[in-house]
A and B are shown apart, each in its own frame.
Chain A
Amino acid sequence: MSLLDYLLPYDFSPLTVLSYMLVMGFYGIGLLRMPDQDRPGALRIFAFTLGVLICYAVMQTRFDYYAQYMFFVHRGQHLILHHIGPILIALSNPLPVMRFWFEKISPGWKRTLRPLGWFYQVLQQPFIALFLFVGLIYFWLWPSIHFDAMLSRDLYWVMNWSMLLDGLLFWWLIFDPRPPAITSSLGYGRRMLVLAAAGVLQMFLGAWIVFSRDMVYDVYEVCGRAWPLDPEVDQLLGGMLTYIPPAMMSILGILLMLRRAMHQDGKYTNQSKQLEETAS
């Protein structure tokens, strides 16, 4: 197989390619047109591009073929779509670019789009966000649903897109750069609680897969593997990818939030105190 075969999609999805092109197009044009002082630095642009690229790579290159016929590669795919890619995108803080485009939307459109904003607010309630984040992992890994999702092309695409979009929502809620003391973003304590709960719930599932003696996901057995790997090894590796990296990412997320909380501790309250003092 030539290099091109590895880079071209296994299962070409025009909608997916178009979505990624639009995202990168809007991001790039936004960067070029926005005022210099708002523009994110090189590292942030790199993080955003890398996040988008790895998500694209696992959906629209040869990687997707292996993800369809190997359980552990499939778990790796979801690790990128639901965790690593969205984490990079959220940490890159694309807010200035989004704000730039938001200001370009006409007031009429803003009014019609308002219900979407409400819907977004509902989805970003910490409990709902946690439920969606962990619930989707459990849902798609429920053995009978997983079997169907791997057999049906439509369900497979719904699965991967739902993981990616939910990953973006969740990690944006967690890594929202706006300080909660002065904006409506979620407080650091709650963010850490949500991360801890998500970590523990994913560890349960991962541990269950790792320590299962039977074949839980036999669809790869029935439909043939990409190469002859021992089914138990495949399941063990897949279980470990569900178990360890997500738990580590929860902990890293908590540490990051602690750092931010300590950094900002007293910053805004002192300011308001100073304001009070000067006022009196």
Chain B
Amino acid sequence: MRTRFWRQRNKIISATLTLIASLLLTGCLGNDAEDWNGKNISGLMPELEFDLINSRGESVSGDDYSGRVRMLFFGFTSCPDVCPTALQKLNQATSGLDPKLQDEVLTLFVSVDPKRDTPERLAKYVDFFGDNIVGLTGKEPQLRELAKRYRTTFGYDEPDPDGNYAVSHSSAIYVFDREGNPRLLMRPNLSREEIRHDLVALIEEDS
């Protein structure tokens, strides 16, 4: 028991020490060659992968949209404020890009409210926010799996007498590069210029 404990602890302690050392050696926390407005999440999360259905009801995976910079956002179409504001901001950020660059970016809007958000309803909703946006949803276990993968969660409130209910979800925008590597976590309070700056940097990175 003792040795088991020691070995385990050694591993953890050396991992912790390596972590501290690497934080110190790399010039500390968050200093990066590129001046990102979002939070750099390289290496913190797994690459983009999912198993969902799109707004035409077809099943899709992460590979179906590869080759472009992707912005993943969780929400639901009955969302009163957070989702429309964020999606509108993303639309403004991308539509302000050089026309040549616009097709290099794709917004993936994942509805975590599959009970109300049918593919048709989702299609209508995302069309309102521009061309380079895809609506995705799935069965609740599929959505739970994806949320867990990106260390987030969602929950449903009790429905009111009319059957309406609020859905709590992440307010962050997860940005992946062309290869699907996680790169940035954008808080919704960034301005469209700040978002655009980061997107341009990611698009131009390896093209």
Contact = CB atoms under 8 A, between A and B. Distances in A.
Per DSSP, are chain A's interface residues mostly helix, strand or loop, or mixed?
helix
Given A23-B1, A26-B1, A145 B154 contact: no
A120 B187 CA distance: 43
Given A161-B8, A162-B13, A165-B8, A101 B45 contact: no
A30 B2 CA distance: 12
A116 B155 CA distance: 47
B44 interface: yes
B1 A151 contact: no
A69 B170 CA distance: 10
A65 B44 CA distance: 19
Interface residues of A, number: 46
Nearest to A222: B172
Interface in B128-174: 148, 151-155, 157, 166, 168-172
A13 B166 CA distance: 33
Interface stretch (A152-160, A183-191, A265-273): A152-160
A105 B169 CA distance: 53
B30 A224 contact: no
B151 A68 contact: yes
B15 interface: yes
A222 B171 contact: yes
Interface centre among B30, B74, B170 (most CB of A within 10 A): B170
Nearest to A224: B170
A151 B44 CA distance: 7
B149 to A, nearest CB: 9
A131 interface: no
Interface string B1-39: 111111011101101100110010000011000000001
Contacts of A62: none
B52 interface: no
Interface centre among B8, B151, B169 (most CB of A within 10 A): B151
B41 to A, nearest CB: 6
A161 B4 contact: no
Given A19-B4, A97-B1, A223 B170 contact: yes
Nearest to A24: B1
A147 B39 contact: yes
A151 B185 contact: yes
Contacts of A22: 1, 4
Contacts of A232: none
A158 B19 contact: yes
A111 B196 CA distance: 61
A152 B170 contact: no
A27 B1 contact: yes
Given A116-B10, A158-B15, A161-B12, A223 B153 contact: yes
Contacts of B185: 151, 222
A212 B94 CA distance: 37
A144 B4 contact: no
A168 interface: yes
B12 A162 contact: yes
A23 B148 CA distance: 29
Contact of A11 (B43, B148, B154): B148
Contacts of B169: 224
Contacts of B8: 19, 161, 165
Given A222-B185, A224-B170, A151 B41 contact: yes
B4 A224 contact: no
Given A22-B1, A119-B10, A222-B187, A158 B16 contact: yes
8 A-B pairs with least C-beta separation: A26-B1, A152-B44, A165-B9, A224-B170, A223-B152, A222-B172, A161-B12, A144-B29
Interface of A: 10-11, 19, 22-23, 26-27, 30, 65, 68-69, 97-98, 101-102, 105, 113, 116, 119-120, 136, 139, 144-145, 147-148, 150-153, 155, 158, 161-162, 165, 168-169, 218, 221-228
Given A22-B1, A101-B1, A223-B151, 5 more contacts: A10-B148, A68-B153, A102-B2, A113-B6, A228-B168
26 contacts: A26-B1, A68-B153, A97-B1, A98-B1, A102-B2, A105-B3, A116-B6, A119-B10, A139-B20, A144-B29, A145-B29, A148-B44, A151-B44, A152-B43, A152-B44, A152-B45, A153-B46, A153-B151, A165-B8, A165-B13, A168-B5, A221-B171, A224-B171, A227-B155, A227-B168, A228-B168
